[in-house]
C-alpha cells in the first residue's frame, strides 16, 4: 500500500485513491449510471476498505440518498477505529413532488444545509462527518450537469452558505469543510470567510481544466481530491467504440462518449504500451498520472463490484517515470484529446 498523503491542514492522512459512490447509486434518477445490485455495491465498499482504501466519498444527491444508505450498510459491522473517513456533499435537492428523473435544484440556504447534514448522518449511521462539501455553487435554479449556471434571485450568496459550513465545523458536526466545482474566484471569496479545507474538482488526463484551482489549493494548504480521474470509464481501457450505453445511463448523450469518442479512445490506446511496461492496467496508469499532479492529494474512483477494484487498486503503488510522463504528454498533443496542460 502506498504511503498516506497529508490532506491539507485537515489533520487527516489519506490514501491516494478513495472509493466513490456515484456509480453505485442505482437507477431511477436524473444522473444514474444504470441499474446496480445493492449486494454487489456493499461488497465493493467492504473490499475497497479491505484493500486499504481509507476514505469514501459520497453525496446526498446520488440516488436521492441511496448511495449514502449503502455506505452506512457496508460500514455498520466495522469497528469505529477501523472505519474509513467519510466525505459527503450537500446542495442538490429534489423538493417534494419533484420527478427524480428531472434535474434537482441547486439550493444552499442555511436551513437546507443543516437539514441535509442531519439526513446524511442518519443514512450513513454516524454522528459526524470527516469532510462536508458544497456540491456545486448555488444558483437557486435547476441543475444541469456540466453547466455553470447563473445565480438567480433565489440563490444564496457564497459568503452566506460558506459561513454555515464554517459554523458546522466549529460546532463539531464536521471535521473539515470543502468546495466542489468552485473556481478560483469563488475559492478566494470563500477563503476570506473561513479556511477552505479541501476542494473537489473534476480532473483526468482527458479533462485538465481544473489546473488553476489545484494550484490555488497548493498555495493555501488546501487538500485536493479529484473526481472522474478515469473520465467516467473512458480511461479504464475497457471502453470500446461499439459499446452501447443503456437508456438510463447519463453518459449516453455527452460529447465525450459520442462525437469525441474516437479521439478519446485513440489516447487510451496510446496508454497501453506504457501500462505494459509496468505490468499494470490502463486504468492504473491513468490514475497514477492524475495523482502525480502537484497539489492533488487523492483521486475518487468508483466500482460496482469487488473485482473492478482489483483492476485499479495497483495505482496506489505505481510511480510513473519521467519518460512515461513525456510519452503521455506527447500522446495528448498528438491526439488532441482533452484540454489543459499536458504534463504534471
**Cβ-based neighbour number of residue 11 at 10 Å:** 11
Residue positions annotated with a catalytic role: 62
How far is residue 175's CA from residue 258's CA, in Å, rounded to a whole number? 41
Of 139, 119, 137, 138, residue with least CA distance to 129 = 119
DSSP bridge partners of 89:
133
How far is residue 328's CA from residue 318's CA, in Å, rounded to a whole number? 15
Phi, psi of 53 (to 5 degrees): -65, 125
Residue 19: in which H helix or E strand, if any? strand 17-20
Using the CB atoms, write b or e for 14-37: b if 16+ within 10 Å: bbbbbbbbbbbbbbebbbbbbebe
Whether residue 167 contacts residue 195, with contact meaning beta carbons closer than 8 Å, is answered with no
| Distance separating the N- and C-terminal Cα atoms of the chain | 23
Amino acid at each position: 500500500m502506498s504511503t498516506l498523503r497529508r490532506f491539507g491542514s485537515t489533520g487527516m492522512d489519506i490514501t491516494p485513491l478513495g472509493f466513490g459512490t456515484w456509480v453505485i447509486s442505482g437507477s431511477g434518477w436524473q444522473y444514474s449510471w444504470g441499474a446496480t445490485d445493492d449486494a454487489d455495491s456493499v461488497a465493493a465498499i467492504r473490499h475497497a476498505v479491505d484493500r486499504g482504501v481509507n476514505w469514501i466519498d459520497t453525496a446526498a444527491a446520488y440516488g436521492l440518498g441511496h448511495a449514502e444508505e449503502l455506505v452506512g450498510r457496508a460500514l455498520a459491522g466495522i469497528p469505529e477505529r477501523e472505519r474509513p473517513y467519510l466525505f459527503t456533499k450537500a446542495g442538490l435537492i429534489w423538493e417534494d413532488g419533484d420527478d427524480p428523473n428531472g434535474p434537482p435544484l441547486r439550493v444552499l440556504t442555511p436551513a437546507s444545509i443543516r437539514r441535509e447534514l442531519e439526513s446524511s448522518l442518519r443514512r450513513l449511521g454516524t454522528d459526524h462527518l470527516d469532510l462536508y462539501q458544497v456540491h456545486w455553487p448555488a444558483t437557486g435554479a435547476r441543475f444541469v450537469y456540466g453547466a455553470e449556471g447563473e445565480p438567480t434571485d433565489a440563490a444564496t450568496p457564497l459568503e452566506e452558505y460558506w459561513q454555515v459550513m464554517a459554523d458546522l465545523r466549529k460546532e463539531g458536526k464536521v471535521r473539515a469543510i470543502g468546495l466542489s466545482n468552485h473556481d478560483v474566484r469563488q475559492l478566494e471569496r470563500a477563503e476570506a470567510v473561513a479556511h477552505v479545507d479541501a476542494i473537489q474538482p473534476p480532473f483526468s488526463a482527458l479533462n485538465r481544466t481544473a489546473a488553476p484551482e489545484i494550484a490555488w489549493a497548493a498555495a493555501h494548504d488546501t487538500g485536493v481530491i479529484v473526481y472522474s480521474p478515469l473520465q467516467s470509464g473512458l480511461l479504464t481501457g475497457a471502453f470500446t467504440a461499439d459499446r452501447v450505453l443503456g437508456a438510463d445511463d447519463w453518459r449516453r448523450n455527452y460529447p465525450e462518449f459520442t462525437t469525441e469518442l474516437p479521439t478519446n479512445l485513440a489516447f487510451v490506446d496510446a496508454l497501453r504500451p506504457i501500462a505494459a511496461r509496468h505490468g499494470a492496467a490502463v486504468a492504473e496508469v491513468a490514475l497514477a498520472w492524475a495523482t502525480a499532479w502537484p497539489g492533488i492529494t487523492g483521486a475518487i474512483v468508483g466500482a460496482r463490484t469487488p473485482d473492478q477494484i482489483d483492476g485499479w487498486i495497483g495505482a496506489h503503488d505505481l510511480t510513473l517515470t519521467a519518460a512515461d510522463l513525456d510519452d503521455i504528454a506527447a500522446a495528448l498533443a498528438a491526439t488532441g484529446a482533452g484540454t489543459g496542460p499536458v504534463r504534471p
